[in-house]
Amino acid sequence: MLEIIFIGLSVGSILLLVALGLAITYGAMGVINMAHGEMVMLGAYTTVMAGIWLHLGFLASIPLAFVVTALVGLAIERVVVRRLYGRLLDTLLATWGIAILLQQAVRLEFGLSFFGKHIRGLGPGLQNVTVPPALTGAIMVGGEDVNVYRLFIIGVTAALTALTWFIMYRTDIGIQVRAIMRNPRMAAACGVNVQRINALTFAYGSGLAGIAGVMMSGFKTVFPDMGTSMVVDGFLVVVVGGVGSLLGAVFSAGLLGQVDGSVASLTNDVLARAVVFGLVILIIVIRPTGLFSFKGR
């Protein structure tokens, strides 16, 4: 029983890790960023590349991945997303295009593979990352074997959630973000530099996805399409939790993680995912605004 709960917690923390960035970009900016999964992918590749080319360790890759993906996010916001505010479905489609572009950029090694040049670490193949020995293996907790790396992910997720909460609710930038969330025009009228804050928010959300990518690279193989399914999961978490609600995202990630974990232990992974999708549809139908929602604009 304890083991199942722990697996659920671990699945939930991975969901939350991906969803955290989305909760911010979607919640605060009303942007459905379909390229969010590709930010995770880029974070994972940053870890791979940093290991190969810079001989950086796994842990040192975390800040690097954050910076890299935040910069890519910033560029996407500046070039594309900025022109599409208020056109929710259009941003969804445009960022889908960006997602494909990013995948292909990695797969084709930025086009160099055409000229017979190859960059180690990129390309269509699978990549792996070595995790420091301290994070592998299992320890005994309450009479059960607990995977250390899963514990590590839960810890990182908790830390990032706390950091995000702190930024959103205890800093000047956070209060501006929340003002934009409720009413962007009014916020602008009150002197909030909406463009700048939006760009920062988007960059931060993307950076979080980058860190999620580092975490993923530690226990999954890394490949160009790895982000596609994650963005879907991330959105389901955000929508179920209630758009713009950090608490909602935490709660729904926990819920969906537990459901996924327990169904998977009873049947198989495929059915578990199916059950999660079913549950999500049910929740959206019953409460379209999500479990935790406020009346925003």
Partner 1 sequence: MTIQRRLDYLCYAIFIVAILLVPLLLGDFWINRMSKFLVYGMLGVAVSLCWGYAGILNLGQGLFFGAGAYMLAMSLKLLSNTSMQQGSDTPVPDFMLWNAQPGAPTELCCINHGSWLWLPFQSQWFGILMGILLPVTLALILGLIVFRKRIAGVFVSIITLALVLLVRLVLIDAQPLTNGFNGLTDLGTLTILGYQFDAYGLGTYYLIAVSLALVLIGARMLVETRAGLILQAIRDDQNRVRYLGFDVPVYQLFFFTVSAGIAGYAGMLYVVAAEFASPTFMDLAYSITMVVWAAVGGRASLLGACIGAILINIVAATVSETQSFMEAWKAVIGLVFVLVVLYLPRGLAGLASDIGERIEARAAARAATGSQAAAMVAASRRAP
Q: Which residues bind partner 1 (CB under 8 A)?
A: 32, 80, 83-84, 88-90, 92-94, 96-101, 103-105, 107-108, 111, 113-114, 124, 228-229, 232, 235-236, 239, 268, 270-271, 273-274, 277-278, 280-281, 284-285, 288
Q: Which residues contact 96 (CB under 8 A, 6 or more apart)?
A: 34, 35
Residue 136 or 265: the one with the smaller Cβ distance to partner 1 is 265
| Closest distance of CB 141 from partner 1, Å | 32
Alpha-carbon distance 76 to 88, whole Å? 16
Is residue 8 within 8 Å of 175, Cβ to Cβ? no
| Closest distance of CB 209 from partner 1, Å | 18
Helix or strand (DSSP H, E) at 153:
helix 148-170
| Closest distance of CB 104 from partner 1, Å | 4
| Closest distance of CB 277 from partner 1, Å | 4
Residue 99 or 177: the one with the smaller Cβ distance to partner 1 is 99
Alpha-carbon distance 20 to 23, whole Å? 5
Q: Which amino acid is at 255?
A: L
Alpha-carbon distance 166 to 255, whole Å? 23
Nearest to 40 by CA among 263, 292, 214, 256: 214
Q: Which amino acid is at 179?
A: A
Residue 64 or 222: the one with the smaller Cβ distance to partner 1 is 222
| Closest distance of CB 224 from partner 1, Å | 10
Alpha-carbon distance 103 to 19, whole Å? 20
| Closest distance of CB 16 from partner 1, Å | 18
| Closest distance of CB 89 from partner 1, Å | 5
According to DSSP, the residues that pair with 139 across neighbouring strands are: 146
Q: Which residues contact 101 (CB under 8 A, 6 or more apart)?
A: none
Residue 147 or 289: the one with the smaller Cβ distance to partner 1 is 289
Residue 101 or 186: the one with the smaller Cβ distance to partner 1 is 101
Q: Which amino acid is at 43?
A: G
Helix or strand (DSSP H, E) at 96:
helix 88-107
| Closest distance of CB 163 from partner 1, Å | 28
Q: Is the dihedral of CA 183, 187, 192, 195 positive or negative?
A: positive
Beta strand segments in 155-218, E: none
Residue 174 or 242: the one with the smaller Cβ distance to partner 1 is 242
Residue 111 or 137: the one with the smaller Cβ distance to partner 1 is 111
Residue 239 or 246: the one with the smaller Cβ distance to partner 1 is 239
